[in-house]
Amino acid sequence: MALNLPGYANTLAGFGKRVVDLVHAIAPNALVALQASKWSTNADPNGVTAALVPGMAQRTAAFLKAMGGDKADLLFVEWSDRDSGCTNLPQCQPPRAWWDVTNHDLPRPTRAVLWENALSAAAGKRLILWQVPAGNIGLDNSCNHYQDNRAAYLFSHPRDAFDSGVAAVLFGSGAECMTNPSTDGGLIGTQGKQAYDPPAAPDGLSLVAAAGATATLRWNESDAPDLWRYRLRYQLGAGPATTLDLSRANTATLLLPSAGSWSISVAAIDAQGHAGPYSTAVGATTSQGARQVLVPIARR
């Protein structure tokens, strides 16, 4: 590979770095993403023990770094490019194994997520998961309507993907007759819209107990698959409202600053950062404020 350009070695690594730099120079607003293959170490993360997976991802990251990946903005990763329900076509040979979405047996999504997490950490890059099979179990295994279960899994586990480093998911295939988002019966479109819609207001908010300056509350869990956290809003009489962001637990003990009758409501926040409407408020009466509560300090 003879580039004969200052600053670039006449090697494949030099060529890779030149490509990344060239895109950034010509299209400064474009993002460059290199392909990181799960099979680049001659093994499948879904076919080895979990202990081997981080090392496989780290070797892949090191190779990409040498090829200019340290200057790239993102990395592409993939799960498969064929629907598992396709077993009768030449382009589906050998058939792709069904993934166990209960995550007990291999292959399974959590093993792929483990590899992605290790890759993202080693490379210091966010990931784009592409060519995710678009099939679902409601299809009839005919051309353009083959079954698969991975799209549905991603929509029901968006936080797992995000926490592993995945910033975006692209659905598609690498062969004719595979299911695509326009032939899947509407699952991807419907689930994608729901992912961008704010979650509904939690229901069942109740006051479990009020004592001193605290109010303990409980509510029904949100059914939003991409639930990120809850937010409490509390207000004393007609005064200003205050909000407090919580975890995903559907119970909380709130330390209130003043004695009096409080109005408290809860909202759900999804992984996109969208906050849904607040629930119907409940009342809580405190006998003292947080400033009057003595918090003991243990000494050794």
What is the per-residue pLDDT across 143-169, written as a single tens digit (0 to 9) for each? 999 999 999 999 989 889 999 999 999
Give yes or no for residue 297 having a pLDDT over 50: no
pTM over 0.85: no
Catalogue all structural domains in the chain, each as residue range(s) with its CATH number. 31-196 (no CATH), 206-287 (2.60.40.10)
Give yes or no for residue 1 having a pLDDT over 80: no
Give yes or no for residue 298 having a pLDDT over 90: no
In sequence order, what are the beta bridge partners of 217?
207, 252
Mean pLDDT computed over 267-290: 93
Record the tokens describing residue 68, joined without a space.
């200019």
140 CB-contact burial (10 Å; exposed 0-12 / middle 13-18 / buried 19+): exposed
Checking DSSP bridges between strand 251-255 and strand 214-218, what pairing results, if any?
antiparallel
pLDDT on residue 271? 82
Q: What is the rounded CA–CA span in Å between residue 85 and residue 149?
A: 9
pLDDT band at 261 (very low <50, low <70, confident <90, very high): very high
Mean pLDDT computed over 288-299: 58
Q: How many CB atoms are located within 10 Å of the residue 72 CB?
A: 24
pLDDT in tens, 201-226: 999 999 999 999 999 999 999 998 88
Between residues 258 and 295, which one has the greater pLDDT? 258
Q: What is the rounded CA–CA span in Å between residue 258 and residue 293?
A: 10
Give yes or no for residue 68 having a pLDDT over 50: yes
HEC assignment per residue over 220-272: CCCCCCCEEEEEEEEEECCCCEEEEECCCCCEEEEECCCCEEEEEEEEEEECC
pLDDT on residue 290? 74
Share of the chain above pLDDT 70, in %: 96
pLDDT on residue 4? 85
At CB < 8 A and 24+ separation, what contacts does 12-20 make?
A: 12/67, 13/66, 13/67, 13/68, 16/66, 16/67, 16/68, 16/69, 17/67, 17/68, 17/71, 18/68, 19/68, 20/68, 20/69, 20/71, 20/72
In three-state secondary structure terms, 287 is coil
Instruction: Tell me how far CA of residue 240 lies from CA of 207, 224, 237, 264, in angstroms.
Output: 21, 29, 9, 12
Mean pLDDT computed over 18-47: 95
pLDDT on residue 299? 44
Checking DSSP bridges between strand 33-35 and strand 74-78, what pairing results, if any?
parallel
For 193-228, b/e burial (b = at least 16 CB within 10 A) is eebeebbebbeebeeeebeebbbebebeebebbbbb
pLDDT band at 2 (very low <50, low <70, confident <90, very high): low
In sequence order, what are the beta bridge partners of 267?
231
Mean pLDDT computed over 274-288: 96
Residue 289's contacts (CB-CB under 8 Å, 6 or more residues apart) are 213, 256, 257, 258, 259
Mean pLDDT computed over 9-32: 94
